[in-house]
Amino acid sequence: MVKLVVFSVLFAFFFMGFSRLHAASSTSFKPKTSLQAKRSCPYTVIIKTSCSSATFTRDQISLAYGDAFGNEVYAKRLDNPASRTFERCSSDKFEINGPCTRNICYLNLLRNGSDGWKPEFVKIYGPHANTVSFNFNTFLPNRVWFGHNLCHGVSAP
């Protein structure tokens, strides 16, 4: 029993991430697609596309972020070429509802397509969490969750 607990703790610590910016493999990050019976909170997400990105992208862009306590917000397909989202040197604002989080400590983006896209940063405002900003300034790989995990070292109350 003790070995199982130790293994579980080490396994959880390993997959919380050691680097600030990383490509998350399909085994280390999977967004939660089913919403549990949790309170819903509104978030404002600002995504700034880099001035060194392509003029625009038709790629599908998804986002997932959350806290160290298992609360996660998942937004599939933020992109909309008809509304000119994710154009070079532009900022796009999204109003997203999802489970209430504490302090947001990870964020991953998923790009699916052939145009390419380079986000500069993602900033999240929420009612129960501090405003947080994640800097990217790199072209996202295709079909791989990519982002930041700053949750290591965070403990539950």
CA–CA separation, 140 and 120 (whole Å):
11
Express each pLDDT in 120-145 by its tens digit.
999 999 988 789 999 999 999 999 99
pLDDT for residue 29: 55
Distance CA 103, CA 153 (A): 13
Residues 6+ apart with CB under 8 A from 83: none
Q: What is the pLDDT of residue 38?
A: 62
Instruction: Dig out the tokens for 18 from the structure.
Output: 């050691």
Domain range annotation of the chain: 40-149
> What's the mean per-residue pLDDT of the chain?
80
Model confidence over 86-115: pLDDT tens digits? 999 999 999 999 999 989 999 999 999 999
pTM score of the predicted model: 0.76
- Region 59-85: what's the mean pLDDT? 92
Q: Would you place residue 83 in the very low, low, confident or very high pLDDT band (cuts 50, 70, 90)?
A: confident
Q: Closest Cα partner for 113 from 131, 148, 140?
A: 140
Running DSSP on this structure, what letter comes out for residue 29?
-
Is the predicted pLDDT of residue 36 greater than 50, yes or no? no
CATH of 40-149, one of 3.40.50.300, 3.40.718.10, 3.40.630.30, 2.60.60.20: 2.60.60.20
CB-CB contact of 121 with 50 (8 Å): no
Q: How confident is the model at residue 31 (pLDDT cuts 50, 70, 90)?
A: low
